[in-house]
Structures are given as structure tokens and as C-alpha cells.
Amino acid sequence: MEFCCQAVKQFYAYLITVSHKAKLSAETYALSITALYHWLETPDGAAGGFSINSMIPVQELSRFLVWRKTEGADERTIAKDISALRAYGDFMTSLGSWTDNPALLLEKPGYHRSLPRVLSVEEVDALLASIDVSTPLGVRDRALFELIYSCGLRISEAAGLLTEQLHLNERMILVNGKGSKERIVPFGGAAYEWLKKWLDEARPQIVGDKLVPTVFVNYQAKPLSRKGIWKRFQELEAKSGVTAKVHTLRHSYATHMLAGGADLRSVQALLGHSDISTTQIYTHVDNESLHDYYNEYFPQNIKPGTKK
């Protein structure tokens, strides 16, 4: 991304290297501070006499947030802006440019968190069954989306998965998640069968003798991008008639796990959530019929003594 000034550029670097923020989070924060920079150049913002490099009182930061609201920012965006301002205050304090962090006095607005879209068991089956597995790329797609669902992966985690992170015999993968946090996630039988078919039969037809580190590749034997996964999923959505996004598979994984009997803390760890309140949103589904499906797709999570 392009930076409006040197301060924002340095802030972005600080978020990545010191705070270990994920790239997308760092970009979101940088965009918020860019908005602050532009506001300070407006007549209203400039009236306070502060710059992006000087310590900005909480009253001025509040005026900035009011301006953001009038520009159409919703409560969720304002909450992200406040997080960015707090992080920027920490950054400026670490440099000695600010004596303290007035952004810590800002209170985040409460906002209604909508329930995520979740697919039913039948919809998951229909989506996966719509994949034409008569071609190498079809086998790849089946393996890819089976794994995303079976492990609750983010699209970036699936795209960046390396062959060295895949432990097929143990039916586990090492996931490099947000903020470079690693977690180990098991996968079920369906994902195992299609991954094995992809790695042993289909992938060699595309890759040949090339050394490609990522598990999933495109027709040119290059790493499959997030955009490529998203585009392929759109095609499957149209073909199957199931309305969803790639991330919906992650939502469905979490919901089906919890409804099937997994405990909240385990699902939190498997999803890589830092806050358990993020995981709790998936507890809204209570469907007894999911137990058998859970045992089929996530057999690694069945507790001893549990009826199969």
C-alpha cells in the first residue's frame, strides 16, 4: 500500500515488526491513521494546530472520530479507528514523541455483532459434491475445500500452506495464522483421502519436476493465490446453488464442531482465536442431527467413551 507520509510508513513497519500484527490488520490501522492525517489537513482539523507527529489530545481525537462518523463510518469502523489510534499512541510513545497515550482514554462504541452465515450439513455436501473431480485441478479444488472445512482455515492460511506443514500420516497440519501465530489442527477422513489423491496423483501432473513449496498450485504450477481460491469458490457457488463465501466454510466448521459436542476452548484453539468471545458467537446453533455428521468429518475430536 502507498503511505501518505513518513510517520504512517514507520507506524506500519512498527506494527509488523514490533507488534507482530498480521499484514491486513497493519494495513487497516495504517488506513485509519491516514484518515487522521487527512483530517488534520482540513480546516476543521487544522484549527487545533496539531500534526500527525505531535501529541494529539483526547479532545481532538474525539473530534476526529465525530468527523469520521459524519463521513459515513459505522460503529465497527469507529471501533477499529480507536484501536488504530491506541496503537499509534503506543508507537509515538515508544519513540519519545508523545509523553503519554491520550488515545487510551477513548471508549469504543458498542455495536451489534451479527451472526455469521452458516451452511447446513446438506449445503456443505452439495457444495463439495458440485466439484468436477475428473481433472487434476478438480481434484485440487476438492482437496482444498475439504481441508478448509475440515480444519476451519482462513483463505490466507489455505493459500499459504506449505508441503512441510502438512503431516498426512498423522492427519494434522501446522497452520501459520494471524500475527504469525502457529497452531496444529487435525483433519478428518474425507480431507485425508482427497489430499492424498491430490498429492500422489493430480499435483505431480501439474508441477512435474518443479519445486513448489505450497500445497495448492494453479495450472501454471505457481502458488494458488487467495484471489484464485475466491474466484474458484464463486464458480462452485453458482454451480451448486449454495450461497456462501469461502469464509463461510470456517464459520460452518466452528458451528458444526460446537453443535457436535466439541468444547468451546478446544474450538477456540483450533480456530486460532485470541479471545474466546469471538468463538462464543458460534454457540447459537444447537442441532442434535449434527452429532453423526460431526463424528464423520471430525473423528479426531471424538472423546473416549463417546458413542460413534
pLDDT, averaged per 10 consecutive residues of the chain (308 residues), comes to 85 92 89 93 85 90 91 87 94 92 83 72 93 97 96 94 95 88 92 96 95 95 95 94 93 86 87 82 59 54 40
> 18 - beta bridge partners?
none
| Separation between Cα atoms, residue 262 and residue 237, nearest integer Å | 28
Q: Where in the sequence numbering do the catalytic residues fall?
A: 154, 178, 247, 250, 273, 282
Residues of the chain with CATH 1.10.150.130: 6-105
Tell me the CA distances in angstroms from 58 to 47, 180, 224, 253, one per residue in order: 15, 32, 45, 42
| Alpha-helical runs (H) found in 47-202 | 58-70, 75-95, 121-129, 136-151, 155-159, 189-197
Residue 286: per-residue pLDDT? 47
Residue range(s) occupied by CATH 1.10.443.10 in the chain: 121-301
CATH top class, domain 6-105: mainly alpha
Q: Please state the CATH superfamily assignment of the domain spanning residues 121-301 in this structure.
A: Intergrase catalytic core (1.10.443.10)
Predicted confidence at residue 220, as pLDDT, reads 95
The pTM score is 0.64
Residue 1's pLDDT is what? 67
- Residue 153 is predicted with a pLDDT of 95
Please, are residues 117 and 244 in contact by the beta-carbon 8 Å criterion? Answer: yes
